[in-house]
Amino acid sequence: MGRSGIRGEVVTLADEVLAAELAVEQAFVDGVYVQLERSARHARALAREGHGRGALGHEGGLVERDAMVFQAARRIAQLDAAHEGLVFGRLDLQERVDSEPRYIGRIGLRDDNRDSLLIDWRAPAAAVFYQATAAEPHDVIRRRVLRCSGPTVVGVEDELLDADAETDLPIVGEGALMAQLSRARDRSMHSIVATIQAEQDRAIRAPAKGVVTITGGPGTGKTVVALHRAAYLLYNDRRRYETGGVLVVGPSGVFMRYIERVLPSLGETAVALRSLGEVVGGLRATRHDVPAVAAIKGSGRMVELMRRTARQQAPSSPKEYRVFWRDDVIQLDRGVLGKLRRQLMSQGRRNRQLPRIASSLLDVMWRQVRGERGRDRGREAFDDDMLSSEAFVDFALSWWPPLTAPEVLGWLRDPEFLARVAEGVMDPDEQRLLVESWQGDGLSVEDIPLVDELRYALGDVPDRVREEDHELDDFLGGDLQELTSAVEREYGSGAGPWMPPTHRIDDDGYAHVLVDEAQDLTPMQWRMVGRRGRAATWTIVGDAAQSSWPVPVESAAARSAAIEGKDLHEFHLSTNYRNSAEIYDYAAAYAERVGLDADLPTAVRSTGVAPREVSGAADLASTVRHELGEIVGRVGGTVGVVVPVARRAEVSGWLASWPELADHAPHAANPAAAGDDRIVVLTGIDTKGLEFDGIVVLDPDAIEAESPTGRATLYVVLTRATQLLTLVR
C-alpha cells in the first residue's frame, strides 16, 4: 500500500470515503445542471412566445408581449449568472423534520414534477443553513459545503452539528470557512454565500423597514454582508426594490470595481453601483482635493455658502435695461431688478421661475407707461412690441438665464465674488484655498456634493410640454413664437424653450440605499446621499476607528438628519476573517499605541508569519523592489504597494522600469509595463474596503502625517493584508 500500520489504513479509508461522497454529490449536481438547462430552454421559449404576441396587432398583445419578454429576460439572466457555484450547500436533518437532504444554491430550481430541487439561499427554508450551530443545531445533523469548479464537485467540507444524533453520516473535510479564508485573493470581491456565519446571517435577514447599521472592525465582512443583504431584499420584495432601484455607494472607483461582481454572481443586476464621485447623475469625478481643502468643502458650512451663491445674480448678466416706447422712457435699473429678483426668489427655486420671467418684467415695465399714446395702445400691444424686440428678448434671456449647477459653482472661482458670498462663513485663508482648488480643470470628488446642493437650490429647468406649465402662454394669448425662436437661437432647438436636463431631481430617489465605509462621509456627502434615500430603506456599513473625516460629531449629525424618522436596527460583527492573527495583532497594537478608539475583532486564522519592518535608508527603490519580489514569489494572489500620495507616480516609475520582478515570480510580469493585475500601487485612502494577499507599505510615517486623520488611514492600511505585511521605513 506504500503506507504502514494503522495510520496507512486510516488514510486509505478516508480517501475512499471522500471519493464516495464526491461521487454522490457529483451525481446530484449533474442532475441540477440538466434541470438548469431545461429551465433556460423554457425561458428562451417564453421569450420567443412573448415576441410573437406583439404580432397580434392590438394594444393588449403589445402589453402581454412586454410583460412576457421582461420576465423571460430576467429569468435567463438569473440562470446565466448562477452557473458558477450553483450548488454549494447540503443539510441533513432529523428524519422527523425532513427525511431527504436539502440542497442550497444561488437560485431556486424545481424538478419536472414542480418539487423543490434546489433552495435559493435567501429563502426561509435555507436560513437554518447559516443559523445552525453546535450549540443550537436547529435539527441539523450535518451541514455540508460543496466546493465546485464550474459543474464539477472538487471537494466537500462537513460539520457535525448534533453530536448526540444517531447517524452513520460520514464527516469529511477541514472546514468550509477555513478553506475559504485561505484562498488567494484576486482583483474582485467574491460572494460568501456558501460560508455566511450566524452573526452575519442575522444582519442579512434583518427587517427591511428602516435602517440597518452593520459595524465591526477590519476584516469582519461588513461589505460583503451588506451586499448579500441587498440581494436578500431584492429576493423578498422584488417589485418594490427593482421598481424603485437599489443604490450602492462606496468610497472610490477602485472599490466599486472590486465589489462589482458580487451581486451579479448572486443573480442580481438591478442595482446601481456609484462611488462618491458618481452619485449625481451625469457627473463623474475621481480626483480628490488635498486634505485641507477637502475638510472645507465637506463641512456643513458649505450649505449656507451654496444657498447664498444660488441666489446671486449671474455675474455676466446685464444690470439694467432701457427702452423708449411711444412717449415714455422705460428703465429697469439695479434697484428695480433687485427687488424683482428677490420677489421671484421668494416664490420657489430659481430655475422654476423661468416661465414667469417675461411676464414679470413686462408687468414692471408696463407700470412705467404714463403717456397717453402708450395707454391708448394698451397692454396687449405693449407686450407684442416688447416680445418682437430682439433687444428685450436678449435682455430677458441674459438677466435670468437657465442655470446649471456646475456653471454656478464656477462663479466661485472669482475671489471677489467668493469673498462677498462667504462673508461670515469662511475666513480669508479658507477662501484662498477654495479659489486655488477651482482653478484647474474638472470637478473633484469633494465638489460633487456642492454641485448637488446647487442643483436642489436652483431647481430643474421646467419642461413646458411635459409639465404643462402654460402660465406665460395664457398671459400672452398663446403666442410665444418670438420668445421661443430667440431662445432656440441662443441655446439650440429640440427640447422646448429652456432645454430641461436629461437627469432631473425627481429621478434621484431610490427604494434602498446602501452606504459602505460610512464613517468617511463628510456632512455634505451625507446630504447628497440622504436626498437619494428620503423614501428608502437603508443599510449603513462602517467602523468609526477607520474614519478619514476629522470632525466625526458633525458627520454623525448629518447622518442622523439623512435617516431622520426611520427605525434603526443595529448589528455588530466581531470576528476578523481577513487578516492572519499575526497581522491583526500588529495593527491592533498600533491602534492602541496611537490612541485610536478601535473596535478590535478576533482574528480566527494564524499563519505563523509576523509582519516585517525593514529599512530603506541605503537604497529605497531597491529595498521596495526586493521586498515586493519576495512577497510576490510567496503568495498566489494580489499584492498592494501602499505609498504616500506625493510618491505614487515615483513608485509606479520604479516598478515600470523593473523587469527583474519576473525573476522573483515567473507568473508576475512587470506590473506597470505589462499590466499585471496582481500588483497595484495605491495611496492609503485608496485601500479602503480592499484586501490583498500581501502588502508593502512605503514610508508609513509619511502616510500617518498626510492628514489630521492619518493615523486612522495607516491603521486601515495595516489591516488590508491576508498573509504577508512588510513596512519599509
pLDDT of the residue at 527: 98
* pLDDT > 70 fraction of the chain, expressed in percent and rounded: 81
Amino acid residing at 679: I
pLDDT of the residue at 590: 96
pLDDT of the residue at 299: 96
* Residue 293 resides in a domain: no
Residue 467 has pLDDT above 70, yes or no: no
- 3-state DSSP: the chain helix, strand, coil percent, rounded to 5? 50, 15, 35
Residues 719, 587: contact at Cβ < 8 Å? Answer: yes
The answer to whether residues 62 and 136 belong to one domain is yes
Last residue of a domain, one of 549, 573, 597: 573
pTM above 0.85, yes or no: no
The answer to whether residues 444 and 519 belong to one domain is no
Residues 108 and 119: their CA atoms lie apart, in Å, by: 5
* Residue 199 resides in a domain: no
Average pLDDT over residues 360-388: 93
* Residue 288 resides in a domain: no
- Give per-residue pLDDT as tens, 287-316: 999 989 999 999 999 999 999 999 999 998
* Residue 300 resides in a domain: no
The answer to whether residues 233 and 105 belong to one domain is no
Partners of 229 in the β-ladder: none
Residues 568 and 570: their CA atoms lie apart, in Å, by: 6
Mean per-residue pLDDT over the chain, rounded: 84
Residues 240, 588: contact at Cβ < 8 Å? Answer: no
pLDDT of the residue at 659: 56
Domain that holds residue 268: 205-281+505-573
The answer to whether residues 545 and 636 belong to one domain is no
Using a 10 angstrom Cβ sphere, with 0-12 exposed, 13-18 middle and 19 or more buried, the burial of residue 392 is buried
Name, in order, each residue with C-beta under 8 angstroms of 436's C-beta and a sequence gap of 6 or more: 293
Determine how β-strand 102-105 pairs with β-strand 116-120. Answer: parallel
CB atoms near residue 442 (< 10 Å): 9
pLDDT of the residue at 177: 54
Grid cell listed for 675: 499590466
Q: How many domains does the chain have?
A: 4
- Give per-residue pLDDT as tens, 164-184: 787 788 888 765 555 555 555
User: Which range is most confident: 168-172, 177-181, 533-537, 660-664?
Assistant: 533-537
Residue 661 has pLDDT above 60, yes or no: no
Alpha carbon of residue 459 to chain centroid: 25
- Give per-residue pLDDT as tens, 25-67: 999 999 998 888 888 777 677 666 655 555 545 444 444 545 5
Residue from 666, 581, 463 nearest 178 by CA: 581
Go through the chain and tell me how many residues it has. 729
Grid cell listed for 290: 488635498
Last residue of a domain, one of 148, 181, 214: 181
Average pLDDT over residues 611-638: 91
Alpha helices in 459-580 (DSSP H): 464-467, 471-475, 481-491, 523-532, 552-562
The answer to whether residues 660 and 685 belong to one domain is yes
Work out the end-to-end distance of the chain between its first and last CA atoms, rounded to an integer number of angstroms.
54
Confidence of residue 502 (pLDDT cuts 50, 70, 90): confident
Residue from 729, 709, 719, 653 nearest 687 by CA: 719
The answer to whether residues 480 and 405 belong to one domain is yes
Average pLDDT over residues 244-255: 90
The answer to whether residues 477 and 385 belong to one domain is yes
* Residue 559 resides in a domain: yes
Report which DSSP code applies to 314: P
CA geometry: angle at 221 spanning 218 and 227, to 5°? 135
Confidence of residue 493 (pLDDT cuts 50, 70, 90): very low
pLDDT of the residue at 92: 92
The answer to whether residues 325 and 473 belong to one domain is yes
Confidence of residue 526 (pLDDT cuts 50, 70, 90): very high
Confidence of residue 5 (pLDDT cuts 50, 70, 90): very low
* Residue 299 resides in a domain: no
Determine how β-strand 512-515 pairs with β-strand 246-250. Answer: parallel
Residue 453 has pLDDT above 50, yes or no: yes
Residue from 712, 702, 728 nearest 218 by CA: 712
Residues 645 and 619: their CA atoms lie apart, in Å, by: 20
Residue 341 has pLDDT above 60, yes or no: yes
Residues 22 and 155: their CA atoms lie apart, in Å, by: 7
- Give per-residue pLDDT as tens, 694-726: 999 999 999 999 888 899 999 999 999 999 999
pLDDT of the residue at 496: 45
The answer to whether residues 721 and 695 belong to one domain is yes
* Residue 497 resides in a domain: no
The answer to whether residues 611 and 717 belong to one domain is yes
CATH number, domain at 595?
3.40.50.300
Residue 523 has pLDDT above 80, yes or no: yes
Last residue of a domain, one of 573, 593, 623: 573
Residue 7 has pLDDT above 80, yes or no: no
Q: Alpha carbon of 365 to those of 301, 376, 439: distances in Å? A: 39, 16, 40
Residues 598 and 659: their CA atoms lie apart, in Å, by: 41
Grid cell listed for 696: 508593502
Residue from 116, 125, 129 nearest 88 by CA: 129
Alpha helices in 156-221 (DSSP H): 176-181, 198-204
The answer to whether residues 24 and 173 belong to one domain is yes
* Residue 303 resides in a domain: no
The answer to whether residues 565 and 583 belong to one domain is no
Query: Would residue 158 be called left, alpha or beta, if left means φ above 0 and alpha means ψ between -120 and 50 degrees?
Result: beta
